[in-house]
Each structure stands twice: as C-alpha cells, then as structure tokens.
Chain A
Amino acid sequence: MSYRDSRQAIVEKNKGLRDKQTTLEEAVTMVQDGDHVAVGGLQYTRTPVGALWEIIRQKRQNLTIYKPLMSFEGDWLFVSGVMGKAVTSWFSGGVTWGVSKIMRTFAENDPSTFDELSLLGLSLRLKAGAMGIPCIPTKSMLGSDLEKTAGLKRFTCPYSGEELLLVPAVNPDVAIIHSQVADKYGNGQIFGPPCLDIESAKAANKVILTTEQIVDNEHIRDTPNSTNIPFFCVDAVVELPFGCYPHECYGRYEPAYEKLGEYGQGLLEATDKIGFVKEYLEKYFYQPENFEEYLSLFGVKSLLETTRLGRIWKP
C-alpha cells in the first residue's frame, strides 16, 4: 500500500473509544492473504505466539512478515505456507540450536523469501511508518553489501553535506502485538522492553492486541505513564494468558527452553526437516480445539516452572 493510501486508511478507520474485545479466531480474520504483517517482540521475548498460532490455523497464505529477529516461529510460518517473505535482520534457531535449517531450505532455494536489513534499518522502516513520513535517513549500513541488496538510496544532507542512506518507511496492513495488560478499549501497557511494538502499533493500518490480562479502564487511568499503546491505534483486543508461550512475557514467564529444545533439537536430528515441522504443526497447531488445549499439550508443570523463573523483580 502506498504512503498516501496508508495515511488515508488511518483517516478513514473508526478510531473511537469502544469495546474492542473479541475472540482470537475473530481478531485474526483481520489478516488477509498477501498482507504485510508486523509481528511484535524480539527473538524469544513477547512474541505474540498465540496470534501467530491462530493465523497458521486459519491457513493465511503468502504474508510478508516484518519481525526484527526471527526464531522458530519463522520456521512454522514458512512451512505452513503462511509466510511468503521474511523481512528481518536475523533468522536463526538461536544460540543453542544453531542456524535454522528451515530458513536455509527456503532462502537457499529462493533468496527472495528472505529480505535482510540491519536491526536499526528495520527499526527505522517502522519508525518512519510510525512518524507518517515516507523515508528516514541513517548512517547505518553505509558501505556494506546490505546497502546494495536492500536497494537503499544515497542522500546528501542539504544542511550539513553528510552522506546518508534513506530507508523507506513501512506501513504494514496489520501489526500483531502482545502486552502484559490492556483494557477493553485497547489501551495497552507493555512492561519491560517494548521492542519495536510502539512503532509497529503506529505504523500499521490495523492492530490486533493480545494481552495477558484485561484490566478495568480505571486502572489504565491510574497509571497513564505505563500506557505505551493508546486505544486509537488498536482495532481488536483479545485476552490471552500465556499468549507468548513457549516464548517469554517479561515479568510473567520465561521462555520454556525445555519445550523449545524439544523442537530445536528434534529439528537438528530429523532427516526430513520439512516433514518434522509438518508433524509439529499438526500436533500443536492444527489438532488442538483451542489455545487452552494447545497449552495443555505442554503441561501445567512447564507453565508453572516458566512462571516461577519469570518473576525477575527480586534483586
């Protein structure tokens, strides 16, 4: 969508104060085949896994996914056919499980499935989108091969004469974000690092906000400094406890490393990598009746253990 069309989408949409609570199933219908979708969080932190889980179940096709760092969820999105292109700075299983073999399969067969930018580069694409400008200058990536492969244009500052690169804005069709707390109007409070979620919420034409906990609007009014996503950015609110599991939600639960490891190690050892992911998707994504049933496949023990480890306030 063009820069002007994207602004017009915000001008025209119903931004009013109204109850936006809905089901996960209903919220995700906002995402259409071929859409550009920004996904919140960073690597293992505050990834909106629940919303991705539902997108995969609803079999959306050929999405372009913007995510600052991609982990196993990128494997699931590729193999399910949901993701046609990953726009990211980094795509890997992680420190312990090495480079994603699924990413390699897709990106080596068809390099156009993986667009790489530096982390600041991608951050600034969303920042420019959030600012309502079509591009933004930076010193990052000058002289590197990313400058060429990302097709970035050089620009000489008319005031200082400095050499810069211009990064194009991105205004995704939809952003999906998970917060610790929100009210029914969509006032979202993210605790700990907000990653790029505040930029994404402003840059996207529509926002789906899943949250650990719906709170009363009076609570939001008591703590306005903590509201980092105001209601007028948000189009749907879904209460979804453990909505990042097996990733983490800051202050609530740690990543379920043991469960991530079952996937990561399993993938490393599997001879048929794609087949392994398909089986995983069948068991954990397509078979469960609902998100609770998905969580119960991992077991209460893991939920309690990650919760205990995730309480990080003690000195």
Chain B
Amino acid sequence: MSSYTPAELCVIMGSRALKDGQIVFAGAGLPLLSAIHAQKMHAPGLAILFEVGGVAPRIGSLPRSTNEARSVRRSMATPATVDMMLYLQRGFVDVGFLGGAQIDRHGNINSSVVGPLEKPKVRLPGSGGANDIASSANRVFIISYHEKRRFVEKVDFVTSPGFLDGGQAREETGLLGGGVERVITNLGILEFDSQTRSMTLVAVHPGVTQQEVHEKTGFELPVSDALEETTPPSEEELTALRGLDPERKYLKEGDF
C-alpha cells in the first residue's frame, strides 16, 4: 500500500463524494483540489463556482485564494459577487465545501471567535461566504483535520449553521439549504442521524481504530451499526492529485 498524507487522504475522499454534473462551490486549498481531482477522475462535467465571480474556471496554477484571476482563469462567465452568492439562495449550488476552526455535534461551524464575542479569546477571520454556503447550498461537505479542539460539543459561535440544536431546528428557523451531509476527516467519515441530526461515525479509514476517533472527538460520538472501512487512495488517484499541486502547497505532511 502506498503512503499518503492526511491532506491527500481527505482530498481524495472529498473527490469521491462529488458526482458528475454537479455545481460545486469550493474554497481555495483542499476543497478546490477535491473538485479539480473529481473533474480529472470521474466528473468531467462538474463545474466549480468561486465567490469572487468565477463560473466553471479551468484552473491552471493553483490560486492562493478564492479571490484572484487564477481562480477565474478561462471562466465561462464572471458574474458579480452578489450574483454568485445568490445562485446559492436560488438553489443552483449542489455542493458547498467548508472547513472551520470549530465544528460541533450538529455540524455547526465557528470561524468567527473563540470565547465570547464581546470579550474574545481569539478573534477569527469571520464567515466570508461560508455562512451563505451553509445556509443555502443543497448539501454541504466539511473537510477537517480531526482533533479534539476542533470537534467540540458546542461551538462558541455559530458562524455557519449546521442543524443548529438538532432535530427539526434547522427547518424551523426557515433555512432552505440541505445542511451538512458529510464530514470528511483524516480519520474517517461522519454523517448525521436523520432524527437527532447528531454526528455519527459511518466509516473509518484503513488503519484507524474507533478508539482513536473517540479520543480525538470532543463529544460522545455514536457509531453506525453498519460502520465501514474506506477504500484507501489508489496509485492512480494519488498520481492525479500530486500533479495538481506539484509544489505541495496544500498536500504536505501533518495537520491542515
């Protein structure tokens, strides 16, 4: 079996989750790599959207942010930012990809503040387009490094809504987007119980034990009765991926 970094593993799991023909809102870094990888491997008709105003760009050199000419290279259209974000509200976006400093058991994400907002311990950069993606994308995938300080019982601040307090809370507040469907980490894959809307472990990656996942999760994590083991990245998948990031800006060892 070939070796791969946690970032490479997550990008490939993200790529596999994408389907041909989908419209995907992807941020720079690992989500973008997942989307381009999927285009190369199995989803040539997948189109990427960027908040800056890129529709279906043909990415060459990897952009260092979502907001520059590299991320709109050879786009088919370059609409205004307000329109890009309104495509989400209208229902055009099949998949939104998100990361975050803190994620809780109901898939709520905090990228605003650690500690109370009026007296912050750490002020974080803020939502950007993440709240709009979480509010209105037809489904959301989260890619995150799996560690206790990120997977918390309750986020300090709900920047991007998952299932809020669980159950029907998300629907009752009036949100129309589908919410978080899947959380992809370097340890496994998590989905949400259809009733409680609580995060549940549905698959572990090869060589990862349930014990390790529990140790690195900051809340009690239910395990699916049908727990699976994921298929490791193939040589073909890894070669295609490494060609996309030859300088290994994003695919380096360690956390991300």
Which residues of A are at the interface with B, using a C-beta cutoff of 8 A? 42-45, 68-69, 88-92, 94-96, 99-100, 103-104, 107-108, 111, 114, 116-121, 123-124, 126-127, 138-146, 149, 162-164, 192-196, 198-199, 248, 250-251, 254-255, 257, 310, 312, 315
Taking a contact as CB atoms under 8 Å apart, the answer to whether B68 and A195 are in contact is no
Taking a contact as CB atoms under 8 Å apart, the answer to whether A89 and B82 are in contact is no
A-B contact list, 15 entries, CB within 8 Å: A45-B52, A88-B126, A90-B128, A95-B64, A103-B123, A104-B123, A118-B135, A121-B131, A141-B135, A144-B161, A193-B81, A195-B80, A248-B68, A255-B68, A315-B58
Taking a contact as CB atoms under 8 Å apart, the answer to whether B135 and A140 are in contact is yes
CB B137 to nearest CB in A, in angstroms, measures 11
With A141-B135, A196-B81 in contact, do A94 and B157 touch (Cβ < 8 Å)? no
With A120-B132, A196-B82 in contact, do A90 and B125 touch (Cβ < 8 Å)? yes
Taking a contact as CB atoms under 8 Å apart, the answer to whether B81 and A91 are in contact is no
Instruction: Of the listed stretches B5-13, B69-77, B203-211, B225-233, name the one at the interface; the rest are far from the partner chain.
Output: B69-77
CA distance A126 to B65 in the complex (A): 23
Nearest neighbor of B67 in chain A, beta-carbon distance:
A43
Taking a contact as CB atoms under 8 Å apart, the answer to whether B79 and A126 are in contact is no
Residues of the A chain whose Cβ atoms lie less than 8 Å from the Cβ of B127:
89-90, 116-119, 146
Residue of B85, B122, B125, B159 with highest tally of chain A CB at under 10 A: B125
Taking a contact as CB atoms under 8 Å apart, the answer to whether A162 and B174 are in contact is yes
Residues of the A chain whose Cβ atoms lie less than 8 Å from the Cβ of B157:
145
Which residues of B are at the interface with A, using a C-beta cutoff of 8 A? 28-29, 51-54, 58, 64-70, 72-74, 78-82, 85-86, 88-89, 112, 117-120, 122-132, 134-136, 157-161, 164, 169-170, 173-176
Nearest neighbor of B78 in chain A, beta-carbon distance:
A193
Which secondary structure dominates where chain B touches chain A? loop
With A111-B120, A144-B131, A163-B174 in contact, do A192 and B69 touch (Cβ < 8 Å)? yes
Residues of the B chain whose Cβ atoms lie less than 8 Å from the Cβ of A149:
117
Taking a contact as CB atoms under 8 Å apart, the answer to whether B159 and A119 are in contact is no
Taking a contact as CB atoms under 8 Å apart, the answer to whether A146 and B81 are in contact is no
CB A242 to nearest CB in B, in angstroms, measures 15
CA distance A158 to B2 in the complex (A): 60
Taking a contact as CB atoms under 8 Å apart, the answer to whether A99 and B72 are in contact is no
The 4 nearest A-B residue pairs measured at CB: A193-B53, A163-B174, A143-B173, A92-B125
Taking a contact as CB atoms under 8 Å apart, the answer to whether B176 and A248 are in contact is no
Residues of the A chain whose Cβ atoms lie less than 8 Å from the Cβ of B52:
42-43, 45, 193, 195
CA distance A82 to B93 in the complex (A): 39
Residues of the A chain whose Cβ atoms lie less than 8 Å from the Cβ of B164:
143
Residues of the B chain whose Cβ atoms lie less than 8 Å from the Cβ of A94:
64-65
CA distance A177 to B14 in the complex (A): 38
Taking a contact as CB atoms under 8 Å apart, the answer to whether A199 and B72 are in contact is no
